[in-house]
Amino acid sequence: MDTFNGDFFETMRPYIVEHGLSLLGAILILIVGWMVAGWIARRVRKYGEASSKVDSTLVPVMAQTVRILIIIITLLAVLGQFGIEITSVIALLGAAALAVGLALQGTLANIAAGVMLLVLRPFRIGDVVDIGGTLGVVDEIKLFTTEMHTFDNIGISMPNSKVWGDKIENYNRYPIRRVDMEFGISYSDDMDKAIQLIREVLEKDERVLKEPEPLIAVAGLGDSSVNIRVRPWTESSNVWPLRYDITKKIKESFDQNDVTIPFPQRDVHLYKERE
């Protein structure tokens, strides 16, 4: 029995040494390849974010793509350690990719939509967008999803196919925006006086642009008030601060000059029926 075991190990020793070294080499290649992929991806992200020539929207996808390519090359090198023909593997992977692609059409749609978002760039990282009723700030465009956060800091992850297939409103696409506001005054107040007070408030605020000229006009006669429409223009970053400040200042100016903003009211007429 001992003779049999000795002969067996003597016979298998060359195979154990050969394949053991191949296995050890494959593990080493896999570990080094994985580490190199992560390191290069981080370097690509770092240099991309630091470069003024590379759009920040493309940086995450570039880093992900480089990492995936290096991992694929590493896996092919691992298979080569065991004497497997790389060309055969590539052909097999191509056939498998076709089968998987048919099964994962939704996932591929997300990738295709992500590519379209990166090529056509309807928005960039940091833009405030409204996508199908979801308002938020774009953090990152990945291969499968677009990452956003709301103004109260809630994270949103949207599939790229939904983003590309829905209406996209970009609040930062143009350098200036119009701020639409409306103020109601009493029917007994002087409309020209109210318009002049509003104009003075706008003229004192440096954030309000001279061109295009602000619009101040009577918009309509409401049930309880004469409605004055106010539409100044400002830089996109000033829209909400300007809206809040102008609303407050106009209310204060009205109070100081006896212009009233009426409460909703209704006239009720009572008729006494004859007995």
Q: What pLDDT does residue 15 have?
A: 56
CA gap 50, 45 in Å, rounded: 9
pTM score, whole prediction: 0.60
Beta-bridged to residue 220, according to DSSP, are 227
What is the domain extent for residue 246? 176-256
Query: Do 98 and 31 have their domain in common?
Result: yes
Q: What pLDDT does residue 139 have?
A: 92
Q: What pLDDT does residue 103 have?
A: 44
Tokens 């990282």, residue located: 125
Mean pLDDT computed over 79-89? 64
Longest dimension (CA), the chain: 131
Q: Which residue has the higher pLDDT, 204 or 39?
A: 204
CATH number of the domain to which 246 belongs: 3.30.70.100
**Counted domains in the chain:** 3
Do the domain assignments include residue 227? yes
Q: What pLDDT does residue 213 have?
A: 94
Q: What pLDDT does residue 81 have?
A: 66
Q: Which tens digit of pLDDT belongs to each residue from 247-260?
A: 999 999 999 999 99
Mean pLDDT computed over 64-70? 79
Among 174, 173, 193, smallest CA distance to 183 is for 193
Query: Do 17 and 98 have their domain in common?
Result: yes
Query: Do 139 and 188 have their domain in common?
Result: no
104 pLDDT band, cuts 50/70/90, is: very low
102 pLDDT band, cuts 50/70/90, is: very low
Share of the chain above pLDDT 70, in %: 77
What is the end-to-end Cα distance of the chain in Å, rounded? 128
Name the amino acid, one letter, at 131. Answer: I
- 134's CB contacts (< 8 A; 6+ apart) are 148, 156, 158
Cα separation values, 105 from 100, 163, 169, Å: 8, 16, 27
**Structure letter (DSSP) for residue 126:** T
The token pair at 159 is 């599939």
- 112's CB contacts (< 8 A; 6+ apart) are 161
Q: Which tens digit of pLDDT belongs to each residue from 141-184?
A: 887 889 999 999 999 999 998 998 899 999 998 999 999 999 99
Query: Do 198 and 150 have their domain in common?
Result: no
